[in-house]
Structure 1
Amino acid sequence: MALNYDLIALDVDGTLLTDEHVLTDAVREAVREAAAKGAQIVLCSGRGPGGVLPVMKELELAGTLISHNGAATVSSYDHAVVHQYEMTPEYLAPYIAYCKENGVHFDLNTAFEMMVERMTPEAEVMYARFHAKPAEYDFTKGLPAGLLKFTVFGSKEQMDIVQADWEQWPARLQSIRSGDFFIDVQHADANKGKALRQLALSLGIDRNRILAIGNYYNDISMLEFAGLGIAMDNSPELVKQSADAVTLSNHEDGVAAALRKYV
């Protein structure tokens, strides 16, 4: 039987994985079955490549991955950066100043590096969950080149306040909520949808032959671009409204259910 879709774009946290960051056997088997039948599996994550590659390894798959919310498209074979959206360093100055003044934890990311000004025990636990190993960096010496993502981390209540404040700022960079406890700041053109469009063009795949599954606000552009965009049941209402269909939650093997129903 022919597959209905040639490319399957999957968000990682809250979609492919449970909230405990576990890849269940049912989801693994469904994804591998689709790949075995010819579908290209593309993981599309807010994580950097270093956090996505272990998930690809667990799936026993290889290929192209979209990381940093679309800011870096990377080959898993040789870790080559296929395309990236770099930020203008000066634009980040007010965000860094805000975090220092308000005690908000932040990190800066190039395609493969993550840097923090200081590490707290809470942040260390959080990074370990995402296979991230940040290095301490003295930002008073200036910012490194090739910056793709600036991420803040804190309680949901703290992130709600930060989000409300930053939405009033000039939109030279975009800030997007990538989870209850995270906000990412990136190049204005960086998103999963544009990265997926660029990849599809390079592969000669029509958007109608693309299925995408996600669960959060940073997945909306991807869900809207794909021929079929599917939101997880654990998604916020706005994400569900942006999708063509809704599957079960990430604790009910929603990705497996969607692949078996639509692919």
Structure 2
Amino acid sequence: MTYKLVALDVDGTLLNDDHVMTERTMNTVMEASNKGIEIVLCTGRGPQNTIPFMEKMGLTGYVISHNGAATVEVETRDIVHQFGMDEKALNPFMDYCREKGVHFDVNTAFGMYVDNVETLAGPVRHMYENYLMLPSNLPTWEELKEPVVKFTTFGEVADMEAVFEDWSKWTLPFNMLRSGEYFIDLMHEQASKGNALKQLAAKRGLKPEEVLAIGNYYNDITMLTFAGMGIAMDNSPVEVKAAADAVTASNNDDGVHEALVKYCLS
């Protein structure tokens, strides 16, 4: 099969555990692009800390950001599509986080907000530095002019498991998913990487069987199952591997390079 679009997750997939895209992987992605394959980064990150990876590779086109909640055109920064949330329905979740001491941030397509930037320290500040983002102070809902597309909590694995268990007992108006060991995301109930990739493929006139997707975590399952070829990284949980059509090497062993050579460049 000749694949015309490749959707790549970023953290844990395109990047190694040091948050670095190796020269080997970068050159292979660029080679695939030079052969006419459209490259789309499909990530839990926002566009502002995803687009620089596209620009570093000299790529244009689109990024699917915030786990599918916002699709953005690289060159213009235009929002092609976004799933806006009912922000007032987030109030009980914010109250829970404040009561339990769980860190959270609120995301619009291009903005990220926390309760108090001045109090960010330790692992929380280090996390934002790793992801090349520094949030702003959260305004009131009335002052926030752009739609909220994602609400994220961050903490130790055991703490996130406890939060996930608690919220699973609620009647949720949102799509809740684990986007990493240390993260829980709430989004519009229709927002997912798979839905966003499906919309983008239709916009580009592509069938699912012309799409290849590579990812490593639970938030990638919907895009792996939408694509004609879904590839899990070796560092993926067993459930993600089970949802994929194939498994490649880990993110620390240039698994994206290996998969693109095997399925796109051979």
> Which aligned pairs between 1:21-170 and structure 2 lie closer than 5 A?
21-119=19-117, 120-122=120-122, 123-139=124-140, 145-170=146-171
Q: Structure 1 residue 137: deviation in Å?
A: 2.1
Structure 1 stretches of 4+ with a deviation exceeding 4 A read 138-145
> Which aligned pairs between 1:188-203 and structure 2 lie closer than 5 A?
188-203=189-204
Pairing 1:211–2:212 present: yes
Unaligned runs of 5+ in 2: none
Aligned twin of 2:183: 182
Pairing 1:233–2:230 present: no
Q: Distance in 1 between matches of 2:203 and 2:12?
A: 28
Aligned twin of 1:256: 257
Q: Is the Cα–Cα contact under 8 Å of residues 208 and 228 in structure 1 kept in the other structure?
A: yes
Q: Which of 139-148 and 122-131 deviates more?
A: 139-148
Q: Structure 1 residue 90: deviation in Å?
A: 2.1
Q: Distance in 2 between matches of 1:78 and 1:17?
A: 25
Give the 3-state SS of the residue equivalent to 1:170 in structure 2: coil
Q: Which amino acid aligns with 1:15?
A: T
Q: Structure 1 residue 224: deviation in Å?
A: 0.2
Q: Is the Cα–Cα contact under 8 Å of residues 88 and 141 in structure 2 kept in the other structure?
A: no
Give the 3-state SS of the residue equivalent to 2:236 in structure 1: coil
- Give the direction of change, closer, same or farther, for the CA distance of 1:23–1:167 in structure 2 (3 Å limit): same
Q: Is the Cα–Cα contact under 8 Å of residues 117 and 137 in structure 1 kept in the other structure?
A: yes
Give the 3-state SS of the residue equivalent to 1:148 in structure 2: strand
Q: Which amino acid aligns with 2:48?
A: G
Residue deviations 1:181-230, cap 9 Å, x none? 11111000000000000001011011101000000000000000000000
Give the 3-state SS of the residue equivalent to 2:195 in structure 1: helix
Q: Which amino acid aligns with 1:77?
A: E
Residue deviations 1:122-154, cap 9 Å, x none? 322211111112101245877654000000111
The Cα RMSD (Å) is 1.4
Q: Distance in 1 between matches of 2:104 and 2:143?
A: 16
Return the TM-score normalized by structure 1.
0.96
Q: Which amino acid aligns with 2:250?
A: S
Q: Distance in 2 between matches of 1:142 and 1:112?
A: 16
Return the TM-score normalized by structure 2.
0.95
